[in-house]
Chains A and B, each alone.
Chain A
Amino acid sequence: DSGVTQTPKHLITATGQRVTLRCSPRSGDLSVYWYQQSLDQGLQFLIQYYNGEERAKGNILERFSAQQFPDLHSELNLSSLELGDSALYFCASSATGISTEAFFGQGTRLTVV
């Protein structure tokens, strides 16, 4: 158990819909990262938050947004969903804003039908 909790584990939704994925980081970790893993692909960095502020952004679509709340949990919002958004979405956390040895959650498997 990495200490990072992601909910839900599985999500099936229709095209055009909006979903919210939730992540609780390890106790004491200030950074939260979101990664997307599509079929047979590596993990693609989406976005990082550090202590409530956006720290780094990857190739995150404009239809996607994220935030980190004062209690340090984070949410990833995906809207106007398309079939191609079906993927595993991982959240990771680390102690600082530059620590690369992040701890990953189990992921949320999103299926868009």
Chain B
Amino acid sequence: DQQVKQNSPSLSVQEGRISILNCDYTNSMFDYFLWYKKYPAEGPTFLISISSIKDKNEDGRFTVFLNKSAKHLSLHIVPSQPGDSAVYFCAASAGSSNTGKLIFGQGTTLQVKP
């Protein structure tokens, strides 16, 4: 049962344009969402997060939007840079679990072309 889904395995955008990565979830108990970025041969690196009490969180070029009614979140990168090329994982947690356990999506490989 895939509780967190990233339906696009890959995305290619031109440098300077917007990258939009999408994520859907099924578990209504999830109340905290995170995006991690992963380069080859490295571990995932935390990028940005959002609590379910918000619908938007911004950090520099990165913005995460949360639509609770649709159980959907998206990561916007503006402007995209070649160094942003990596695998992006969406993850979710349920505060009620009283743990730091994360449920991850399968990842989306972003390629930003110069």
A interface residues, Cβ below 8 angstroms from B: 2, 4, 31, 33, 35, 40-45, 48, 55-56, 58, 90, 92, 94, 96-107
Contacts and interface: CB of A to CB of B under 8 A. Distances in A.
A90 B100 contact: no
Contact of A56 (B89, B99, B106): B99
Contacts, number: 72
Contact of A102 (B89, B97, B100, B107): B100
A58 B101 contact: yes
Contacts of B102: 33, 43, 45, 100, 102
A9 to B, nearest CB: 9
Interface stretch (B36-44, B56-64, B72-80): B36-44
Most B CB contacts (10 A, CB to CB) among A35, A40, A58, A101 go to A101
Contacts of B19: none
B97 A56 contact: yes
Contact of A100 (B6, B42, B49): B49
A2 B43 contact: yes
A44 B107 CA distance: 12
B43 A105 contact: yes
Contacts of B49: 100-101
Nearest to B6: A42
